[in-house]
Structure 1
Amino acid sequence: MVTLHDKETGAFVGEIGDQQLQQLIDALEEESATDRDYFISRAELEFLEEQGVDRGLIGLLRTALGNREGMEIVWRES
């Protein structure tokens, strides 16, 4: 399992499975091979939906985003 956290506050966002993590890695831009954070916005969520990313993961990210314009999430192996 993998945990997601709000990079700015450190708040726990939720747990995702390895396949869901792989979908994020495949769909979003990484700055390096060791990059473990992603910027999430409403536009990014729409893009992820278009890419067929797991609906549960998108819902989790949408809830974490709330009414903010964007946020950075960081993932950690648990």
Structure 2
Amino acid sequence: MVKLHDKETGAFVGEISDQQLQQLMDVLEEESSIDRDYFVNRAQLEFLEEQGLDGALIGLLRTALGNREGMEIVWGKS
């Protein structure tokens, strides 16, 4: 499993599968090959949804985003 955290606060966001992580990696931009964080906002969540990413993953990210404009999530394998 892969654990997601809010990069700014360190708050635990949730766990996703390796397959869900791969979906994010395939669609979102990485700054380097060792990049372990992603910036997400509402527009990106809509884009991810349009790209057919897992609905549970989108819901998890949408809940974590809450009322904010955007956030950075960081991931790590457990």
Percent of pairs with identical residues? 82
Q: Distance in 1 between matches of 2:58 and 2:11?
A: 18
RMSD value, Cα:
0.3
5+ residue gaps in structure 1? none
Q: What runs of 5+ residues in structure 2 fail to find an aligned partner?
A: none
Separation in structure 2 between the aligned mates of residue 76 and residue 64 of structure 1, nearest angstrom: 17
Find the counterpart in structure 2 of residue 8 from structure 1.
8
C-alpha deviation, 1:48, in angstroms: 0.2
**Counterpart residue number, 1:62:** 62
How many residues align structurally? 78
Residues in 2 aligned to 1:52 and 1:2: alpha-carbon distance in whole angstroms = 20
Tell me the TM-score normalised to structure 2 length. 0.99
Distance (Å, rounded) in 1 between the aligned partners of 2:54 and 2:17: 10
